[in-house]
Structure 1
């Protein structure tokens, strides 16, 4: 199993004191860091007493050269190996120790934002959005996932987020109302193996699979279409629906609809905002709606904040809408009275 895969559920616990070994050092001018640094055949061995020492050492090593992509850091305590990662990833782990601890042990909660039928104004689904349970924690979801990506914990965080969303569906959203759950395709190396935890969680909380929609959240980075097709196929085999996010942005083009055949597509908000004042935007919305209908795909426009935008979406045949016009994310599954807005 590759290096990143080992973090799918395995915690990073760096001891306050121990031994750090750095292998594969290519720099020819490694000088003495201090009298405790032992360098033999390009391998550094260093016994540390505080994490501050480790941070200082790792920053120093990275400053020597930009060619340390091959350098590997091994942390041990006694005879036990605690961590074995690349030098740059290890440095990020030390820099972001508090966020790392929160990703692994912090209390998370799912906030829910309503998704409504464009024609009916009735709540069709909720999107689950990850938050820290303690409002005093000033950590944004972006900061959490970005730190997790840099430190090799994005698989663990993504898995925790999916579990919280499934729990929220069971506890807060009534049966028959769907729940859109974000997932990162880059964290799913082998769908048959990596999604077992998700499917087991669905069974554990007795959630109807057909009420779940797993939504790709990094479609601008889709480089391996065959892999994503495999992920979608695995979800669908379990009776779960799938959605393609940010259609119109990056690599997520209309061609992707034909290649991946998702159950839902979400149109990037940049094509929705002020679409009533931009003919190109309204034409794009109409084109996506037409192609999706022919493929049997439901279309969701996100980021709607004005009634005029809703009217355009309704006119071109878009099925579902989401945005502050209907409600902001909240801890509870709020059922807004949208019929007056739609009407």
Structure 2
């Protein structure tokens, strides 16, 4: 199995009683002081009979200086096969069990935020956003818990599938969908993206109508790996984008090296750009370089007509934000909104 691919689709069940397994050694003898333990040559199984007892054991184990170096899992029976994960992820899964179960079992729904062509304010695309249909958890909490529990690969895969499925009967051909992805969840692009490409084929979506964008929560640490991901998407006829450009890690050098199809410029650079000379210089520079590289520029977070007009005046291609339209369960953009 490819490295990390065991993270996709693996169910986590919190049993009312069973065993927590820790693989590793403690130098201070604390593990040996816990009753109900069964040792093997790599670590120990520690039995529990209630959620309260499991919580107490987790509290004790977390006192170990080496705790975050352990591999761990939860078992209902000793003889069942198992896969281990970092102990900190198991601890996070226990403390966030309700959200973990939502990540595993929910058929999420897609929301749509419009993106317009600035030259005439016509609809160009919708960004696809993930939502819990029952409103139990916010998108921010979903992705935070997924990251802490090691379930970000599963959630990222579900988000891509939801975005592709949600187009059906709602977005006509020729209108693009911008879909977020986490590069750290794609270990081997040819292998890990196979599921996504199968979904595209299953639902009859035109590949050219899809644009996959690197989300803001991850720093670009491995340019070569991201280039491979971009190349894999492009080989399937899909577009690629850098999201939140200009915030934190994103630099003009990154844009030149990766040469995406789109650069989405972060809200922090767009807000009050009509009156901020520093932001104006940055935006004009991005537009100039992007035009030379045949990259389309997109202004994120447009909330004022003055911002929209400035971005249009300097030659930016696309825009999105609350002025244009908020995320909705149904695509709802009306071109008269900007008249």
TM above 0.5, one fold?
Answer: yes
- SS of aligned partner of 1:299: strand
User: Quick check: 2:178–2:212 contact (8 Å CA) kept in 1?
Assistant: yes
Deviates more, 1:6-15 or 1:317-326: 6-15
Match of 1:87 in 2: 87
How far off its partner does 1:26 sit?
Answer: 2.6
Matches of 2:99 and 2:194 in 1, distance apart?
27
- 1:30 and 1:41, CA in 2 relative to 1: closer, same or farther beyond 3 A? farther
Match of 2:313 in 1: 315
Deviates more, 1:84-93 or 1:321-330: 84-93
- SS of aligned partner of 1:114: strand
- Given candidates 221, 245, 254, the residue that maps to 2:219 is 221
Deviates more, 1:109-118 or 1:5-14: 5-14
How far off its partner does 1:320 sit?
Answer: 0.3
User: Quick check: 1:301–1:322 contact (8 Å CA) kept in 2?
Assistant: yes
Match of 1:55 in 2: 55
Match of 1:124 in 2: 124
User: Quick check: 1:299–1:319 contact (8 Å CA) kept in 2?
Assistant: yes
- SS of aligned partner of 1:167: helix
User: Quick check: 1:202–1:209 contact (8 Å CA) kept in 2?
Assistant: yes
How far off its partner does 1:336 sit?
Answer: 1.9
- 1:220 and 1:282, CA in 2 relative to 1: closer, same or farther beyond 3 A? farther
Match of 1:141 in 2: 139
How far off its partner does 1:33 sit?
Answer: 5.4
CA displacement, residues 265-308 of structure 1 (integer Å, 9 cap, x when unaligned): 00011000001110010111111111101100100000000000
Matches of 2:338 and 2:138 in 1, distance apart?
33
Identify unmatched segments of 5+ residues in structure 1. Answer: none
How far off its partner does 1:25 sit?
Answer: 2.5
Taking only aligned residues, the RMSD between alpha carbons, in angstroms, comes to 1.9
Aligned residues: 338
- Given candidates 264, 267, 274, the residue that maps to 1:266 is 264
User: Quick check: 1:12–1:83 contact (8 Å CA) kept in 2?
Assistant: no
Match of 1:175 in 2: 173
The 5-angstrom pairing of residues 23-172 of structure 1 reads 23-30=23-30, 35-37=35-37, 43-65=43-65, 67-78=66-77, 79-135=79-135, 137=136, 139-172=137-170
Identify unmatched segments of 5+ residues in structure 2. Answer: none
TM-score by length of 2: 0.94
- 1:291 and 1:37, CA in 2 relative to 1: closer, same or farther beyond 3 A? same
- Given candidates 191, 203, 206, the residue that maps to 1:208 is 206
Matches of 2:229 and 2:194 in 1, distance apart?
12
- 1:181 and 1:40, CA in 2 relative to 1: closer, same or farther beyond 3 A? closer
- SS of aligned partner of 2:168: helix
